[in-house]
Amino acid sequence: MDLTNKIAIVTGGGQGIGKGICEILSKNGAIVIVTDINLDSAKLVSNKISSKNSNSTAYQLDVTKNIDTFSVTKEIFEQFGKIDILVNNAGIVAAPNWEEAQKLTEEDWDLTYQVNLRGLAKMTESTIRYMKDARYGKIINIASVAGRIGGTFHPPYSATKAGVINYTQSMSVILAKFNININTICPGHVWTELAHRTSMNQKIAEGEQHNSLRKVFENNVKTWVPLKREQQPRDIGYLAAFLASDYSKNITGQAINIDGGIYMN
Ligand SMILES: NC(=O)c1ccc[n+]([C@@H]2O[C@H](COP(=O)([O-])OP(=O)(O)OC[C@H]3O[C@@H](n4cnc5c(N)ncnc54)[C@H](O)[C@@H]3O)[C@@H](O)[C@H]2O)c1
C-alpha cells in the first residue's frame, strides 16, 4: 500500500489497537500523527515509529472535548497543509459491572457515549472541514463485533458501537460528493488493556472459575472464534492501511469484521 506523504491522524494511538494501526500506516509511508488522552504513551509510539519508519508526531487529544478536537486538527492542518486520513480508534468500556446492565450508572452510560460515539463524531466533524476543501479524505472508524449483535457483554458499549456502524453509513452518503470515503472496522478478540479489563470483569462475574485473565481471554477465543486464533493490533492496521489507500476508492459506508469468522455480516 502506498501511503507516502499522506497525513494520518489516529486517535487513542498510544497503545493497543491504535498503536498497531499507527505502526502499519507508518510502515506504508504515511506521516502519522499519534494522538491520545495520554500524551506520554502517544509520544512513545510516535518516537518509535519515527525512528524506524516515517516521520511522526504526538499530540494530547481527548476526543470528548471540542476544544481538543477542534484545535488539534487546526494545528495539524496549519503544520502540514492537509489531512488525508483519520482513524477514529479511541474507545472505552466504562463500567466495572458489565454483566448486570441494571448496575450501570448514569456516568457509565454518558462516558461510553461521549467517547465511543460522540467523540468519534466530534473528531470527524473537526477533520472533514479540511477534507471537504481538498475534495479528498479517508475516514476509518473502529467499532467492534459487539456492535453487530446485542449480547451480555456490555449494553452501552455494544449500543455505541452499533451507533458507529450506522453513523458511518449516514456519513458515507453525506461525504460522497466530497470524494471522502468513510468505513468501519469491527475487531473481534485483540489482547489489549481493554480486553484485559473486560476479562477481569468476566472473571468476577463467573465467580473466579478461571485462574488467570489471559485464560479467560483464551477460553473466549477457543469458544467463539472459528479460526481459533486471536486477532493482533497489526491485523486491524492492515485493513486500515487498505481503507486509507486508493485501492479502496470505491468502498464507502461499509463495516468489515476482523474476527476470525465469528460473524458473517
Ligand atoms: N481489544 C479488543 O478486543 C477490541 C475488540 C473490538 C473493538 N475494539 C475497539 O478498538 C479500539 C481500541 O481498543 P484497545 O483494545 O486498543 O483499547 P486500549 O484500552 O488498549 O486502548 C485505548 C486507547 O484509547 C485512549 N483513550 C481512552 N479514552 C480516550 C479519550 N477520551 N480520548 C482519546 N483517547 C482516549 C487510551 O488512552 C488508550 O491509549 C476501541 O475503540 C475498542 O472499542 C477493541
For residue 235, how far is the Cα from the chain centroid? 13
Give how many domains the chain has, as a whole number. Answer: 1
- Residue 1, in any domain of the structure: no
Catalytic positions are 157
- Residue 209, in any domain of the structure: no
- pLDDT tens-digit series, residues 127-150: 999 999 999 999 999 999 999 998
- Residue 195, in any domain of the structure: no
- Residue 159, in any domain of the structure: yes
- The CB of 199 under 6 Å from ligand 1? The reply is no
* Enclosing H/E stretch for 56: strand 56-60
- Residue 170, in any domain of the structure: yes
pLDDT of residue 29: 95
- Residue 198, in any domain of the structure: no
Which residue range(s) make up the domain with 78? 7-190+231-258
Distances in whole angstroms, Cα of residue 166 to Cα of each of 64, 146, 254: 20, 14, 10
- pLDDT tens-digit series, residues 148-201: 998 777 889 999 999 999 999 999 999 999 999 999 999 999 999 888 877 777
pLDDT of residue 20: 98
Burial class (CB in 10 A: 0-12, 13-18, 19+), 87: buried
**The three three-digit cell numbers of residue 54, written as one number:** 516515517
Beta-carbon neighbour count of residue 52 at 10 Å?
Answer: 11
**Rounded-to-integer distance, Cα 120 and Cα 22, Å:** 17
**Rounded-to-integer distance, Cα 127 and Cα 123, Å:** 6
Nearest ligand 1 atom to the CA of 68 is: 32
Chain position carrying cell 459506508: 253
pLDDT of residue 205: 67
234, 23 Cβ separation under 8 angstroms = yes
Residues of the chain with pLDDT under 70: 96-102, 204-211
**Rounded-to-integer distance, Cα 21 and Cα 116, Å:** 17
- Residue 151, in any domain of the structure: yes
Amino acid at 244: A
Residue 46: closest CA among 89, 8, 95 = 8
**The three three-digit cell numbers of residue 171, written as one number:** 456519513
**Rounded-to-integer distance, Cα 155 and Cα 163, Å:** 12
pLDDT of residue 73: 97
CATH classification of the domain holding 121: 3.40.50.720
- Residue 201, in any domain of the structure: no
- The CB of 155 under 6 Å from ligand 1? The reply is no
- The CB of 141 under 6 Å from ligand 1? The reply is no
What spacing in Å lies between the alpha carbon of 14 and ligand 1's midpoint?
9
